[in-house]
Structure formats: structure tokens, C-alpha cells
Amino acid sequence: KLFEVITADSGKIGLEILENNSEISIVISDMKMPEMNGLEFIKIAKERYQEKSYFMLTGYDAHEDIAKALNEGLIQNHFSKPFDSKEIQNSIMASLTKIKVYSQSI
């Protein structure tokens, strides 16, 4: 098993999961969710958990909000639906490599 996947039905539940699972290093959010959209969720999560890497799934083209989130470093990448699982896996692996290199250089 390459990754353990934990899912949440809303941004609020996602924040609770992050609070209770410090070992999570990668967060992938859908853009459209109940209670808050994916960017709102990631903004809150990143304020609390800056060390994690954040990605976005979207059924939309890379519209202005996602482009801005990429430019500001809020998210590392976004994936369009229907998504390519290999592309997501490669992005996660690249992110994990950066995390390990960074943590070893401290």
C-alpha cells in the first residue's frame, strides 16, 4: 500500500481530521464541498498546518482563483476532473521528496 487515504465529507470535517492526525503530510481538496469551497478550506488549513502540502481537485478549468492560489503558493498543484491518478501520485511523490529533503537539512 503506497498511501493511506483518509476522506472527509466537508471542509469542517477535514479540519477536524487534520487536528487529530498530525502525521498527515499531503492534503488534496475538492474545489466544491459543503460548508466551504476547497480554497477556503485550504486557506484555513494552511494557516494552522503550514508544513503540509496542499493540492486541489477541480471540475473547472484553472480559473483565476486556482491560478492565484498556485502563484501565491497556497497549493502546489491542481488536478482537473476526470483526474489522472498517475499524475496525482507523481505530484505526491515529488512533494514527499521535497518534505524529506527539507526536514533533513534543518
Residue 27: DSSP 8-state: E
- So what's the pLDDT on residue 105? 43
Integer Cα distance of 62 and 74 in angstroms: 14
> Residues in the chain, how many?
106
One-letter amino acid of 32: K
Integer Cα distance of 72 and 85 in angstroms: 25
CB 91 within 8 A of CB 77: yes
- So what's the pLDDT on residue 102? 47
Assessment of whether the complete model's pTM goes beyond 0.85: no
pLDDT in tens, 23-82: 999 999 998 888 899 999 999 999 999 999 999 988 876 578 888 999 999 999 888 888
pLDDT surpassing 90 at residue 103: no
One-letter amino acid of 72: E
The gap from C-alpha 70 to its chain's centroid, in whole angstroms, comes to 12
Peptide bond into 82 cis (omega under 30): yes
